[in-house]
Amino acid sequence: MTSSSTSSSPLGTVLAGLPGIRDAAEAFYKDLHAHPELGLDEHRTAGRVAERLRHWGYRVTEGIGGTGVVGVLANGEGPTVLFRADMDALPVQEATGLPYASTVTTTGPGGHAQPVMHACGHDMHITCLLGFAALMAEAKDVWQGTVVALFQPSEERGDGADAMLDDGLVDRIPRPDVAFAQHVLPLPAGCVGVRPGPFLSAADNLRITLFGRGAHGSMPQAGIDPVVMAAMCVVRLQTIVSRELAPTTPAALTVGSIVAGTSPNVIPESAVIELNIRTYDDTTRRTVLDAVRRCVDAEAAASGAPKEPLIERLGEFPPTVNDAGVAERLDRAFRAHFGDDAGTIALQTASEDFSKIPDAFGIPFAYWGIGCVDPGTYRTAAGRGTVQQDIPVNHSPAFAPVVQPTLDTGVSALTVAALAWLGGKNT
C-alpha cells in the first residue's frame, strides 16, 4: 500500500493513529471471528460494538431493528457521513484451520445443532469500522462534521436493513448527506476498488408452482402434464436473457430447483420450480420479473393448465448502484491515497441490502470492495479486479481473509472516504 498522504494533511493526521490501535483491532477481529452470531442474534457482537463506541465518545443507540447499533460523533458544522458495517455470520461449518476458527453452534430448524461461521467477512467489516471510529474520535481537531457509524444486523437474509428502518432509523439518527459501506472480496489484500453506477446485482428468488392434472402415466389424455409444463417453462425462461435484454445488459436467470412427481408412471398434479434472478438496475429487474410472469402464464396456458401458476417471492435484494458523482470523487481520493492499489472494480454478482438505508434517507451512496487474499498467493497472471475461481471465496467453509494488510486497508479506506467529505472543512 502506497500513500501520498502526508502526515501534515488531515488524512495523514487521522491515519497517524493507526499503528496505535492496530494490535487491539486485530485482537478484536479474532475474537469476533471466534464468536460468530447469526442474523438478528448478534447480541454479543452488538454489545461489544456499543461498548467500544461509547468508550470513544460516540452517542450510541442500541437495539434498532433488534440488534442494530448506531454511534454518532458530532464534531461541529459540516456534512454528516454515514458508514455501515454488517454484523451477522452464516450457518457454515468452519474449515479454515485458523487458531481463532469458530467452534460455535446454535440451535437450528428442527432443533438440530447448526454450526456458525463468519464466512463472509462481516467480522472484518465491524473491526474496520470500529478502528476508523476510534481514529476519528482521536483526531477530532483536524476535521469537522458528523460521523455516523451504523452496525446492521442480518444482511445475509436481506432483512436487517429493513428491520432497522422499520424500527424508526430515519427519525432516530441525524440525516446523513452521503452513505458508505465496504465489503471484503477475493482480491489481493491491500487493494481497494470502487465503480460508478451498478456494483452489486439485485437478487430475486421466486418459487413457481405449476398446476396440471394428475393421471396414470398410461393415460396422458386424462391428465395435464406438469412435468412437460415445467420443462417448457425452464426452456422458455432461457429466452429472457437471450432475447429480451440487450447483449450489453448484465443479468442472470437460474432455475436452481425443479421438483415434480414421485413415481415414473404417474403424471403428478403439479410441479415446482425455484429460480434466482440477478439484475443491475430497476428497469432490467422489472423487465425480467414481468417476463417471467408472462412466460410461465403462457406456458401454463399452452398446456391447458386448470389454473394460473402461483408465483411466490422467496426473498429479494435491491441492486446496489453507486452514485456516479460520489463514486468518482471517492475513486479520486482512493487513487490519491492508495496509488496503484486503487482501481475500478468489475461488476459483482453478489447482492446486498445496504442501499435500502441511503434510499430511505433519499441520499447518494457508494459501496466499495477491499481485497482480503494474501497477495503472495494471488495469481499474478490474473488481472486486478478479476475474481479468481480457485481461491476460497465468501461463503466457503475455507474463507479466511488475511488479517493484514486487510484490516489496515479497510480502516484507511473508510478514513479516506470520510475525509474526502469532511476533511477540507476544518482548515
* Pick from 67, 64, 68, 60: nearest CA to 43: 67
Please state whether beta strands 270-279 and 197-200 pair in parallel, antiparallel, or not at all (unpaired). unpaired
Q: What angle do CA 159, 281, 361 make, to 5 degrees?
A: 50
Q: Which cell numbers in the block locate residue 56?
A: 470513544
The whole-angstrom separation of Cα 275 and Cα 272 is: 10
Q: Does residue 103 belong to the site contacting a copy of itself (CB under 8 A)?
A: no
Kindly state the smallest distance separating residue 150's Cβ from a copy of itself, in Å: 27
Kindly state the smallest distance separating residue 131's Cβ from a copy of itself, in Å: 31
Q: Does residue 14 belong to the site contacting a copy of itself (CB under 8 A)?
A: no
User: Which of 3, 388 has the CB closer to a copy of itself?
Assistant: 388
CB contact at 8 A, 118 and 87: no
- Residue with grid cell 436493513, as numbered in its chain: 161
Q: Is 122 annotated as a binding residue?
A: yes
Q: Which cell numbers in the block locate residue 337?
A: 491515497
Q: Is 125 annotated as a binding residue?
A: no
Kindly state the smallest distance separating residue 123's Cβ from a copy of itself, in Å: 22
Q: Does residue 112 belong to the site contacting a copy of itself (CB under 8 A)?
A: no
Q: Does residue 257 belong to the site contacting a copy of itself (CB under 8 A)?
A: yes
b/e code 166-194 from CB counts within 10 Å (16+ = b):
eeebeeebeebbbbbbbbbbbbbbbbbbb
Q: Which of 350, 407, 411, 416 binds a copy of itself (CB under 8 A)?
A: 350
Kindly state the smallest distance separating residue 323's Cβ from a copy of itself, in Å: 15
3-state class (DSSP) for residue 193: strand
Q: Does residue 205 belong to the site contacting a copy of itself (CB under 8 A)?
A: yes
Q: Is 316 annotated as a binding residue?
A: no
CB contact at 8 A, 321 and 194: no
- Contact set for a copy of itself, span 381-410 (CB under 8 A): 389
3-state class (DSSP) for residue 239: helix
User: Which of 349, 377 has the CB closer to a copy of itself?
Assistant: 349
Q: Is 312 annotated as a binding residue?
A: no
- Contact set for a copy of itself, span 217-246 (CB under 8 A): 217-223, 225, 227-228, 230-236, 238-246
- Contact set for a copy of itself, span 267-326 (CB under 8 A): 267-268, 271, 273-276, 278, 291, 294-295, 297-299, 301-304, 314
Mark the binding-site residues for Mn(2+), compressed into ranges.
Answer: 120, 122, 156, 183
